Chains A and B, each alone.
Chain A
Amino acid sequence: MNAAQFWQAVSKATLFIESADAMERLGACLAPGARAASSIWLQGDLGAGKTTLCRGFIRALGYRGRVKSPSYTLLESYSTARFPVHHFDFYRIADSGEVEWIGIRDYFDDEAVCLVEWPERAGRRLPPPALRVTLAHAGDGRRASLHSEDGHALTAALQAFRRG
């Protein structure tokens, strides 16, 4: 793919998410288009719904256990039929150098999908994401802005989400 094709494929969308259930459903709709060896960044303030979206994503891959917040543990890993999912939360990272102590290089490999909350705390130590999701409070709901490098996958996800 040359640079021009790459930029054509990039696509953006903004959605209003009215509830936690809808946020989980958005996560679930993003799962089919995810590919191994890629990452998704989730940005937004405390309580914006990042972990809720991740829960929907991981459950949609068939994982039946609990999907808990990795804020304290920094990382929770899940094995699914399609690929391993590593769910990071860098909220408690004060210095970007610290992500090296977690050994992140071992997790961003050829097989896994990495979901990263608070990626900005890791500075420039992360590979660029396939999808960036930015969540913001909007009244009692949330506004989700999605920016994908795979326009087809994002379009399919949005269609699935709108179908309900």
Chain B
Amino acid sequence: MRVLGIETSCDETGIGLVDSSAGVVAEALFSQVGIHRPHGGVVPELAARDHVRKLLPLLRETLGAREMDEVDAVAYTAGPGLIGALLTGAVFGHSLAWALGKPAIGVHHLEAHLLAVMLQGAPPPPYLALLVSGGHTQLVAAHDIGHYELLGDTLDDAVGEAFDKVARMLGLGYPGGPEIQRLARRGRARRFEFPQPMARRPGLDFSFSGLKTRALQTLRHCGDDDDRCHADIALAFEMAAVGSLTERCRRALGQSGCKRLVAAGGVAANARLRRELAKLGGDGVEVIYPEMKLCADNGVMIANAGLLRLQAGQTPDPLPQVRARWPLTELQPPRAA
């Protein structure tokens, strides 16, 4: 079975084609990050979320010389996200499926992130998942497909958002994650030490707003173009943020007795986080990361989640329905209507 996946929940427009036996067949992504038009200008964010204009060119790019009838089903992100952005993908997906006489299925964006590692051969849940991106910071017990328990969440800012905002304070580009990571390599450890957020609080929740403010307050004591100072702040920030994420994962592994930890989302591309989480492995515990290109939002993971649900016998959706708010815990296991 071949499923076409469409992602339009926020900034990125992504299309992917996934085959039940061959895995990823083709993909195309239009990201607001670092895109340059032929005439050399950076595409403004206005265009970046203009999913309507990008879907057809991306579909053509994904299909290449393939025929449309190779597609057995269409999956699209049904939520959570911006309602207008979601509707664009849902209506596009349903129209395409209707024209082809194939089924269409709505997918939960975060479930797609959680299941993306299965594309690289990882076994299905149960596992613990750390979902970290610009919009989310969650620790989830994935018991089975469609059966998720929220163990921890951010009380304020998502970790990726904190990276972006601290990067902006330091005069770095967007997205902030890679920029902070680059600058932090030149930082001197222990010049500044930021307390690990929530370290003394029990439970598995996160908080990054205070850390962001701490970075800002420290920056005020640096000169405007004090590169050393900026690098030291970047390092102190990265260490505290990653330390907080890692510590909560260690705690969750201990409390749940779960033996597998999966990282997902854009921040899972951070090298320090991957390194520190890897240290939680061993002793029977396995730590799994998605490939770099599967970390950020993309169409392939949507195709994968749709494929898994259809294979498990879920009835396709007769109409395009989207939900701006859709807690992961409200999902149901795949089932026939």
Contact = CB atoms under 8 A, between A and B. Distances in A.
Contacts of B160: 72
Interface of A: 20, 46-47, 51-52, 55, 66, 68-69, 71-75, 77, 92-95, 97-98, 101-103, 137, 140
Interface size class, chain B:
35 or more
B70 interface: no
Interface in B130-186: 133-135, 153-158, 160-161, 164-165, 168-169
25 contacts: A46-B168, A46-B169, A46-B212, A46-B216, A47-B165, A47-B209, A47-B212, A51-B156, A52-B209, A66-B155, A68-B156, A68-B158, A69-B157, A69-B158, A72-B160, A75-B82, A77-B324, A77-B325, A93-B45, A94-B44, A98-B46, A101-B46, A101-B84, A102-B84, A140-B217
Contacts of B311: none
A151 to B, nearest CB: 32
A58 to B, nearest CB: 13
A128 to B, nearest CB: 24
A17 B56 CA distance: 51
Interface string B40-75: 000011100110000000000000000000000000
A156 B210 CA distance: 30
Nearest to A55: B156
Given A66-B155, A92-B45, A98-B49, A72 B161 contact: yes
7 tightest A-B CB contacts, nearest first: A72-B135, A95-B46, A94-B45, A47-B213, A72-B134, A47-B216, A98-B46
A96 to B, nearest CB: 9
A73 B156 contact: no
B83 interface: yes
A55 B153 CA distance: 16
B267 to A, nearest CB: 12
A153 B46 CA distance: 37
Nearest to B327: A65
Contacts of A73: 10, 80-82, 135
A5 to B, nearest CB: 39
Nearest to A99: B46
A102 B85 CA distance: 8
A22 to B, nearest CB: 14
Given A46-B212, A46-B216, A71 B46 contact: no
Nearest to A20: B210
Contacts of B324: 75, 77
A72 B10 contact: yes
B5 to A, nearest CB: 21
Contacts of B80: 73
Nearest to B213: A47
A46 B45 contact: no
Contacts of A75: 82, 324
Given A72-B160, A77-B325, A51 B165 contact: no
Given A46-B165, A68-B157, 19 more contacts: A47-B165, A47-B209, A47-B216, A51-B156, A52-B156, A66-B153, A66-B155, A68-B154, A69-B157, A69-B158, A69-B209, A71-B157, A72-B133, A72-B158, A72-B160, A73-B135, A101-B84, A103-B83, A137-B220
A156 to B, nearest CB: 28
Contacts of A51: 156-157, 209
Contacts of A69: 156-158, 161, 209
A97 B165 contact: no
B161 A102 contact: no
B234 to A, nearest CB: 15
A124 B88 CA distance: 26
Contact of B50 (A66, A77, A101, A102): A101
A76 B8 CA distance: 18
A74 B49 CA distance: 12
A41 B158 CA distance: 22
B84 A103 contact: yes
A95 B209 contact: no
Given A72-B160, A74-B82, A101-B50, A95 B10 contact: no
B163 to A, nearest CB: 11
A98 B165 CA distance: 20
A95 B45 contact: yes
A93 B46 CA distance: 8
Contacts of A97: 46
